[in-house]
Homo-oligomer: A and B are copies of this chain.
């Protein structure tokens, strides 16, 4: 029972919730992607850490490496509004978006190809049946 009303998670809780191992969370921390607080020696994860992890995992699913994800998370840590930094950040952002859009096209094409193949298989079977071929 939490003494305060602050929602936190143990490493295993968070790991289970996101279907990853505790080792994975420690690894992400080693890589600087997460930095949970400590309660004594143990890690305690907040809701913000949760959101961050969610972002990380989605990044992975779309094919980014951990270092790339780290870079993207760093973008959020601007703080200083130096004009050049802002410009750089926005360019990186747009580059990412472009890459993702190219990836979407690839996926669409692959889906089409797979569905086309699926139909091909169907018609192949029907043809066989049409010629009264019961089994190959």
Contact = CB atoms under 8 A, between A and B. Distances in A.
Interface of A: 55, 58-59, 61-63, 72, 75-76, 78-83, 86, 89-90, 93-94, 96-97, 100-101, 103-104, 106-111, 113-115, 117-118, 121-122, 124-125, 128, 133, 135-136
The A interface, classified by DSSP as helix, strand, loop or mixed, is helix
B136 A114 contact: no
Contacts of A76: 117
Q: How many copies does the complex hold?
A: 2
A105 to B, nearest CB: 10
A48 B68 CA distance: 35
A107 B102 CA distance: 11
Contacts of A59: 110
9 contacts: A62-B106, A72-B114, A78-B121, A81-B128, A81-B135, A93-B114, A93-B117, A97-B115, A104-B108
A104 B104 CA distance: 6
